[in-house]
Structure 1
Amino acid sequence: MSGRDDPISFATLGMFIIDDFSFMDADGRPTGRTVDPQECRSRPSSPRLCGSPEHRLPPSEIGMIVDRGHDFPEPIDRALLSYGRDLWLFREHPDLKTTRALNSYRGEHRGFEYTTPRIRITPKDLEGTRLANAKTLHFICSPSRALAIMSEVEEGWKPITIYEPIPDRCVPEELPALQKVLPLISVLSPNAEEALSLLSLPLPPSKRAIEHAADKFLQFGVGSEGSGWVIVRSGELGAYIKSRATSGRWIEAFWTPEDADKVVDVTGAGNSFLGGFAAGMVLSNGDVDEATMYATVSASFVIEQEGLPCLSEEGSMIRWNGDNPLRRLETLKKRHET
């Protein structure tokens, strides 16, 4: 049993992955740049937008399984606990290595591959824990695997489902599986490149192409009776949100092209965006526009440095990287006032 009467607000099936990096120029020559994976380099979804207590979800309301192998780095362990012990559900694997992946950059092209065996997480892994029957369920995987995940969501459990397609399976061959699972999904959120790739549309992304892709996904029937949303995460272009019942709308990125020096490393931005979106849905009572602004602010903190943002407390206020997230949220809202 989970030990609580009401289900928590958010759980993710995303794996905890420690990232290693390789940087080369366009000709394949090492650039000399390095990133130490021990310095809090990891990619959990983070639905805890902080500020004053009434504008954040406490760790007890969100959760993620962390599979710790025998080689789990102590600095990362300490960093995770600093975000709130209740947030994590640790599973120990003394005979296995912690899941790791190599992010290889060659010029502007990014490659990704697992370097240790994956320990996948399914809805059945949540049973009997405090994460069981969470009100919102996030998962990142191929469309084919998304179908398998939804088959494990027990009858009577009706979570808001946030599906983030995994980049290397956003290929046209996966489109039939995606069409099958979309009616079961509340929110579909690929990034712009992934959306166009699934639909065999040409790159690079433009706002017009992204809007066309969102329309195509909605035609496939996102959500029960077509009631779901498509949110296309589009980097410096912002995020495009649309449902069949609403007109499409662009939410600007927090950091504009003029703030290029603020964008240090975009690894994990999508995970953090959707974690922030989940928190925003709770805190805004289901207002998708406002939730997307929470998501945008959440991602803005992740991309400012290599690794996780730094948290600090000032009385009842929790700051990220020395800044107040609510200040950023209000700044973003003002940009969209009409």
Structure 2
Amino acid sequence: MANGAQNGGNHVTKKPPPEPSPLRRAKFFKANMRILITGGAGFIGSHLVDKLMENEKNEVIVVDNYFTGSKDNLRHWIGHPRFELIRHDVTEPLFVEVDRIYHLACPASPIFYKYNPVKTIKTNVIGTMNMLGLAKRVGARILLTSTSEVYGDPLEHPQMETYWGNVNPIGVRSCYDEGKRVAETLMFDYHRQHGIEIRIARIFNTYGPRMNIDDGRVLSNFIAQAIRDEDLTVQLPGTQTRSFCYVSDMVDGLMRLMEGDNTGPINIGNPGEFTMLELAETVKELINPRVKIVTMENTPDDPRQRKPDIGKAKEELGWEPKIKLRDGIRLMEEDFRKRLHFQESVSLS
């Protein structure tokens, strides 16, 4: 049984949410929803932009410092009258009028967040404080994309939202793991103290088109290696497990959480569980049967197992993933092949 009492669910707030701009009640004002996405030029963020832009009543503002994101992910929206792109680092304050804030900004791959761990924890803590300050000023609802990493190397399996985690506070991954845990704390403190409307999603491994090809995450590694005719490198022991959610399912879950009535935290992920060796075999079978699977030393604090309990998401959001891993790998392979072919043609020209 999980240690501790329920830490999610709906909370009685001490104060009512702040009032939005008086313009919202003016007769001449267009009833558009102004939505801010931090980290919106990244992998998940750019897919969220695509989905939100489908609604003609949405105006979308993206802020990104392009540390891991790319303008290429959003080039089809640049110049659109309902879309705005701002180069900005969330560790600095931001002043805009919005109704919703999706706070995604943070490097999510170990290669990137270990590169500058101090900047990573600043993004998680100061960046989240700045976005909560903005939500407080303008009366916006804010959603934080937290992470399954808050569970650390879990002693409970599968992981429920009530589980408090097993995290190393001084390890090489702590800038991300503990940073996200502090971000969740800040969200609930602003909610209780200032009446801010909050939503917290604990997202599990997500994959799909637009992932950084060389970001060090296991599925993008395997697919890129298979396309390049390289050995698939499995970190020892190979029996550690992960669960993989296709990006369109993830975006659907985030939007349902934002517009629902539950503060969270709510796990958003696919409960299908695969060992790293099983994943490598699947990629080999689907993409390149000629490649070999080899093993290599593991990185410190790598969790042995990871699988979400999504009972709360099903009950509260009516959400569960639809895309099977084998189908999602095919879609990701097509995107990777196009981008790798483009990189090769540019390097040869």
Structure 1 length-normalised TM? 0.31
Compare the two structures and name the one with the higher helix fraction.
2
Structure 2 length-normalised TM? 0.30
Bigger-Rg structure (1/2): 2
